[in-house]
């Protein structure tokens, strides 16, 4: 396709895999994150555009969409993937860590959607894919901040789905289980994680699948887990 897709959190992990797969399929990919070096390296492979931006800042989110439209003259897809998490007992969580998680996962999703929706509504077409988590649908110990942020991010996307549907715009939400990435300061690629975690490319295939639905179909939700994961 000649579609133009913005992918947030594309410097590593799931977002990078999504960017590579969409580029392989012929999309023009706009890779968004804060790490310049990683984005430059990725853009050599995707032949797309990379934009340094912090999704939790409104000016950055708006700038990403404006730059994309200026550069490619069109925009079809937004993949809201940028996200952070850390895990602790509630009383050991700092207020600033709470803010970092909510600013990225919830406000970042809100701001990126806010930036693209007027454009998608005007063209009566567009597809937002949100990467939330299976913990948007269950709770667990040490997950007060991250779990709450994923419930909230999920609610933003589900409400938006109902708002934009009459305008021909789709919102799909992906709920992965454990994925072998740099998430929460981990290092991917260990032999152990290979058995217990999804690969970023598995999640990228799920994104591809929801994007390939016929024009009259919206896949609202798609959940995937490693077969070994109990949840
Ligand atoms: O994590 P990681 P994942 N503005 O750390 C970017 C969800 N998830 O791929 O800015 C812009 O490898 C960061 O880029 P940089 C998870 O909640 C994961 O696993 O350069 N970008 C990097 O590219 C998240 O929503 C698991 O530091 C920002 C990327 O985000 C999504 O999957 C399970 C940013 C993070 O890459 C991707 O996470 C699950 C900002 N302010 C859901 N802050 C799992 N891994 O097990 C961060 O259910 N980024």
- Counting the structural domains of the chain, the total is 1
Residue 102 lies in a domain: yes
Q: Is 61 in the pocket of ligand 1 (CB under 6 A)?
A: no
Atom of ligand 1 at shortest range from CA of 182: 12
* Sign for the pseudo-dihedral over CA of 37, 80, 26, 18: positive
Residue 29 lies in a domain: yes
Q: Is 179 in the pocket of ligand 1 (CB under 6 A)?
A: yes
CATH number at residue 14: 3.40.50.720
pLDDT digits (tens, 9 = 90+) for 212-225: 999 999 999 999 99
Residue 192 lies in a domain: yes
Between the CA of 56 and the centroid of ligand 1 the distance, in Å, is 13
Confidence at residue 231, expressed as pLDDT on a 0 to 100 scale? 80
- Cα maximum dimension of the chain: 50
Residue 24 lies in a domain: yes
Residue 229 lies in a domain: no
d(Cα 153, Cα 104) in Å, to the nearest integer?
10
Residue 79 lies in a domain: yes
Please give the ipTM for the structure prediction: 0.99
Confidence at residue 27, expressed as pLDDT on a 0 to 100 scale? 98
Residue 231 lies in a domain: no
User: Is 146 annotated as catalytic?
Assistant: yes
Segment (H or E) for 166: none
Q: Which domain holds residue 207?
A: 4-224
Q: Is 134 in the pocket of ligand 1 (CB under 6 A)?
A: yes
Confidence at residue 2, expressed as pLDDT on a 0 to 100 scale? 84
Atom of ligand 1 at shortest range from CA of 103: 41
Segment (H or E) for 23: helix 13-24
Residue 230 lies in a domain: no
The Cα-based distances of 14 to 143, 200, 224 in angstroms read 21, 5, 13
Residue nearest (by alpha carbon) to ligand 1 atom 13:
9
Positions in the chain short of pLDDT 70: 1
Cβ 119 vs Cβ 61: under 8 Å: no
pTM over 0.95: yes
72, 146, 175, 209: the catalytic one is 146
């Amino acid at each position: 396709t000649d579609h133009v897709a913005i992918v947030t959190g594309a410097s590593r992990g799931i977002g990078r895999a999504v960017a590579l797969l969409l580029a392989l399929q012929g999309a023009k990919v706009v890779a968004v994150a804060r790490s310049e070096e990683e984005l430059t390296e990725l853009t050599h492979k995707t032949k797309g555009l990379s934009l340094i931006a912090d999704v939790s800042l409104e000016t950055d989110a708006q700038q990403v969409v404006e730059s994309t439209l200026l550069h490619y003259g069109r925009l079809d897809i937004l993949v809201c993937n940028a996200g952070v998490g850390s895990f602790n007992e509630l009383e050991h969580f700092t207020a600033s860590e709470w803010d970092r998680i909510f600013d990225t996962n919830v406000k970042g999703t809100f701001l990126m959607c806010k930036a693209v929706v007027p454009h998608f509504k005007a063209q009566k077409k567009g597809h937002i894919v949100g990467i939330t988590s299976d913990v948007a649908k269950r709770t667990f110990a040490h997950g007060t901040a991250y779990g709450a942020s994923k419930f909230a991010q999920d609610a933003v996307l589900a409400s938006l789905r109902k708002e934009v549907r009459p305008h021909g715009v789709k919102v799909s939400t992906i709920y992965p289980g454990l994925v072998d990435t740099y998430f929460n300061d981990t290092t991917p690629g260990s032999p152990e994680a290979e058995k217990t975690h999804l690969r970023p490319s598995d999640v990228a295939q799920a994104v591809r699948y929801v994007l390939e639905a016929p024009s009259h179909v919206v896949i609202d939700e798609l959940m995937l887990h490693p077969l070994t994961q109990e949840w």
